[in-house]
Amino acid sequence: MAAKTWFITGTSKGFGREWAIAALERGDRVAATARNTDTLKDLVEQYGDAILPIELDVNDRAADFAAVQQAHETFGSLDIVINNAGYGQFGMIEELSEEDARAQIETNVFGALWVTQAALPFMRAQGSGHILQVSSIGGISAFPNVGAYHASKWALEGFSQALAQEVEDFGIHVTLIEPGGFSTDWSGPSAKKSTDIAAYDPIRDKATKLRSARQATPGDPSATRSALLKVVDAEKPPLRVFFGEAPLEIATKDYESRLASWREWQPVAVEAHGG
């Protein structure tokens, strides 16, 4: 298999770093972005010119375009783009400040949008490519205390599903990766938290317990390496794919509930249509 060129955001830790290693280990080339590229020094020492570290804040649209351009100029192609940079904002809806909400959307939605836009001209020109958006089970289901995060991932899901239909005829694939709970620091140092309103403390405690129950056995991030390679190497990759054991059960319950409610209220829907 010919070496491929990857562009991955958020490679300093977590999934981004694991997937950069997966690509490098099999002889591919990786443009790896991070806010602090010092975190990539060990990979540069090990893999040399096969990795191109790029300091990048995905919120900066001009910098996103420049980074993608640099990757293409360095490696001569752009085969796989993974929008992995993002974080979780914890806080009840009433607790979110304007800064909390805007920052969450800026990074998780607009950051991915700008990188996607930057990559598409190169992929269209070569008639191939694969864009992978790191969503979440939280991109199709929702739980208390992370409403802003859900809003960002549902937005990512929406524009990516539209994108998949727009670029299919150019030979470009789009995949939404929807992980469940993994042993990363997503809910730790990487997360941001809104200022608590005391009235929500009992609900917050309940939400924390339910979240722990859903993630009783967190997944191993390193195990996602082989799973990811199966997705990017597939002749017909999926639009959506779960990573982890729990998401399918969560999604099944959620969608069965939605369908039941829609069917129950279908007479009202028909009434609303008018004669």
Nearest to 17 by CA among 1, 32, 38: 32
CA distance 109 to 128: 24
Task: Report the alpha-carbon distance of residue 163 to residue 120 in Å, rounded.
Answer: 10
92: phi > 0 → left, psi -120 to 50 → alpha, else beta; which? beta
| Closest to 46 (Cα-Cα) out of 23, 69, 68, 67 | 23
From residue 274, how far is each of 116, 209, 269 by CA, in Å? 41, 45, 9
Active site residues: 135, 149, 153
- Is residue 230 within 8 A of residue 130, CB to CB? The reply is no
- Match 């249509």 to its residue by tokens: 273
CA dihedral 72→126→5→8, nearest 10 degrees, is 70
AA identity, residue 115: V
